[in-house]
Amino acid sequence: MADLDVVVVGCGIVGASVAFALGQRNRDVTIVEKAHHSGHETSSRNSGVIHAGLYYPPGSLKAELCRLGRDMIYDFCANYGVPCEKTGKFIVANGPEEEAYLSWLLENAKPTPLYRVDQGPSGIRASAALFSPESGVVDQHALIDALLLQSGATVLLDQTVEGLAAISDGAEVRVSGDITTAKTVINCAGLQAATFVPGYQHAYAKGSYFSVRHPALKTLTSLVYPAIPKTSPSLGIHLVRTFSGEWYLGPDFQWVDSIDYGVDPTRAGEFARAAERFLPGLSEDDLQPGYAGIRPKLSKTENRDFLFLQEGGLIHCLGIDSPGLTAAMAIGEYVADLLIRD
């Protein structure tokens, strides 16, 4: 017999959401996490944006799970008192090429609400703009904590997983040389998830953030994103705020070979030049180094969808980059349904 019912590897937003979904199905979940606390890496090192589901290819898992997850997060936060706000988001263009992108985005975003507006918010430069009313921000740490509490899962911290393997009646987890068996093991290890899957690897895309001061931020309440080419691997250096009222610009996009969360202060000029297109008068002196995150991507040359690999009682969640935070609760349901279909 298996030692445990379900083991989830990784206690970020995806691991917590999987545990919550399975807890709702009366499964007994144990989470193993290598860090000293939950949400230590990718889950806490992003902009905290709830994406509406505008950018992803129609019919893709990213599009479907982002839209489902968005509504699930708003409902969950309302029910359990998690700090969350539907701020809305402006996508601003400056010039004919960027305006053409807005037209493409209007078609790609369907059926998510997205509207043309006469002008952007006060203090923001835009020759044309769209407004997304379903976009927002969430306190990632509070969301993870609430999901874990409601899941009823047992969380074991400081547990470095060395290997995973499918067996005839479940799966094995090896920690510090000891092997534990479970009916089901779900790999939600984020940046490290691909290390447990032969033939797959994650490319690391680093994004830094700078805190920003600007007169327009005194009255601004919505997020502001630039219009960027649809072939871009990122959504551009955009403007977001935290629940404490701090504003940040980011992230940029850099391929890196190892995990390093340092922010290079010399990149402030690059950020200022990128954001000055929609924040007139912005200078390098208005920026201070903030924080950085790293996204696990399955390809450096193309935008790949989320990938879920199942071998018996072992499921791997790979390439969970943006919109992983927004999609997380829907990913939890998706994985739980995989077990039912198995």
State whether 183 and 285 are in the same domain. no
State whether 271 and 322 are in the same domain. no
State whether 271 and 149 are in the same domain. no
Q: What CATH number did the domain enclosing 284 receive?
A: 3.30.9.10
State whether 234 and 316 are in the same domain. no
Specify if 183 maps to a domain.
yes
DSSP assigned state of 105: H
Query: d(Cα 152, Cα 47) in Å, to the nearest integer?
Result: 28
Specify if 51 maps to a domain.
no
State whether 291 and 245 are in the same domain. yes
State whether 208 and 259 are in the same domain. yes
Specify if 72 maps to a domain.
no
Q: How confident is the prediction along the chain (342 residues), in pLDDT tens digits per residue?
A: 579 999 999 999 999 999 999 999 999 999 999 988 898 888 888 889 999 999 999 999 999 999 999 999 999 999 999 999 999 999 999 999 999 999 999 999 999 999 999 888 999 999 999 999 999 999 999 999 999 999 999 999 999 999 999 999 999 999 988 999 999 999 999 999 999 999 999 999 999 999 999 999 999 999 999 998 666 666 689 999 987 789 999 999 999 999 999 999 999 999 999 999 999 999 999 999 999 999 999 999 988 999 999 999 999 999 999 999 999 999 999 999 998 765
State whether 126 and 157 are in the same domain. no
State whether 231 and 262 are in the same domain. yes
Domain that holds residue 121: 89-133+203-297
The secondary element (H helix, E strand) that includes residue 62 is helix 61-80
Pairing of strands 4-9, 307-311: unpaired
Query: d(Cα 336, Cα 31) in Å, to the nearest integer?
Result: 15
Given a contact cutoff of 8 angstroms between Cβ atoms, the answer to whether 146 and 76 are in contact is yes
The secondary structure of 208-267 as a DSSP string is EEEEE--GGGGT--SEEEE---TT-SS--SEEEE-TTS-EEEE---EEESS------GGG
Specify if 164 maps to a domain.
yes
Residues 6 or more apart from 121 whose CB is under 8 A from it?
Answer: 90, 216, 219, 220, 221, 222, 224
169: exposed, middle or buried (C-beta count within 10 Å: 0-12, 13-18, 19+)? Answer: exposed
> What is the pTM (predicted TM-score) of this model?
0.96
Specify if 121 maps to a domain.
yes
